[in-house]
Amino acid sequence: MPLSDDIAEALLTSIIDGHYPPGTALPPEPVLAEQHAASRLTLREAIKVLRSQNVVRIHRGRGTYVNNPDQWTALEPMIRAAATGPRAGGAISEKLIEARQMIEVGAAQLAAVRRTDDDLAELAEMLDEMRAAAAAGDTEQFVTADITFHDVVMRASGNAFVPLLLEPFGQLLIEGRRQTSAVPQIRTNAVAHHERVLEALRGGDPEKARRAMAAHMTQTAGDLRTHVIEPPH
């Protein structure tokens, strides 16, 4: 990897860690070059990488300033900022649920008319695993079965692009499920909603499947806020 890329990675890590918060300026070019034992030309190449991702902006004569992560245009830095930066937590989980709702409600609607018997069998198997994990209080097994259930629904949509849409958020999705699935009441609610989704898919009713998945996403968002973000005292 070129030295300029190493420097860009180091600067990005410092930004995500909060060393250079949004709106603040990076140290002057000569200072950064000395810190990283690099020429100013190499340093400029590193800054160019971050600028291309809109992580930073340059004000001529004033310096290089850090943009808010909402303005970044590269997915990987945004995911890292969401997972480890000061924006991590309940708000990120809520936004992920919103993204899931946009994708998974439509996937369920398609899956109702395109699912196969094998898809239905796998969904039933995952639902059984969720019930068993909920009864045993096994959060990890519950999360695995839950994620697999939703993966099957997206594959059953019959559109090869659909399962790929949430793939970049894999680890964030797992962490979000762990947040909620650790709460017994949320596991109970989730099992009930997954039962309704499977029933709608078995019946081959796209509108019923759409409503069932939408209700599940609404339940998930509500449970997150009630039991995780604003837990009862």
Residue 45 in any domain: the answer is yes
* Residue 79 confidence (pLDDT): 75
Indicate whether 208 and 160 sit together in one domain.
yes
Between 213 and 73, the higher pLDDT residue? 213
Q: Final residue of a domain: which of 76, 108, 131?
A: 76
What letter would DSSP give residue 36? T
Indicate whether 155 and 68 sit together in one domain.
no
CATH number for the domain harbouring residue 29: 1.10.10.10
DSSP string across 49-92: HHHHTTSEEEETTTEEEEPPGGG---HHHHHHHHHHSTT-SHHH
* Residue 233 confidence (pLDDT): 57
Answer whether residue 171 shows pLDDT above 80. Answer: no
Overall domain count for the chain: 2
Indicate whether 207 and 97 sit together in one domain.
yes
Q: Which domain holds residue 154?
A: 89-229
Say how far apart CA 216 and CA 193 lie, in whole Å: 5
Residue 190's identity, in one-letter code, is A
Closest by Cα among 171, 190, 65 to 126:
190
Closest by Cα among 4, 9, 12, 1 to 37:
4
CB of 173 within 8 A of CB of 211? no
> Within 10 A of 69 (CB to CB), how many other CB atoms are there?
20
Indicate whether 99 and 210 sit together in one domain.
yes
* Residue 163 confidence (pLDDT): 93
Q: What is the dihedral of CA 32, 38, 42, 45, to 10 degrees?
A: -40
* Residue 91 confidence (pLDDT): 64
pLDDT digits (tens, 9 = 90+) for 177-222: 887 888 899 999 999 999 999 999 999 999 999 999 999 999 999 9
Indicate whether 38 and 112 sit together in one domain.
no
Residue 221 in any domain: the answer is yes
The model's pTM? 0.73
Give CA 66 to chain center in angstroms. Answer: 23
* Residue 83 confidence (pLDDT): 66
Say how far apart CA 231 and CA 228 lie, in whole Å: 5
The pLDDT mean for the chain works out to: 91
| Ranges assigned E (strand) in the chain | 56-59, 63-66
CATH number for the domain harbouring residue 212: 1.20.120.530
Indicate whether 98 and 55 sit together in one domain.
no
Indicate whether 144 and 64 sit together in one domain.
no
pLDDT digits (tens, 9 = 90+) for 130-167: 999 999 999 999 999 999 999 999 999 999 999 999 88
pLDDT digits (tens, 9 = 90+) for 98-130: 999 999 999 999 999 999 999 999 999 999 999
CB of 138 within 8 A of CB of 182? no
pLDDT > 90: percent of the chain = 71
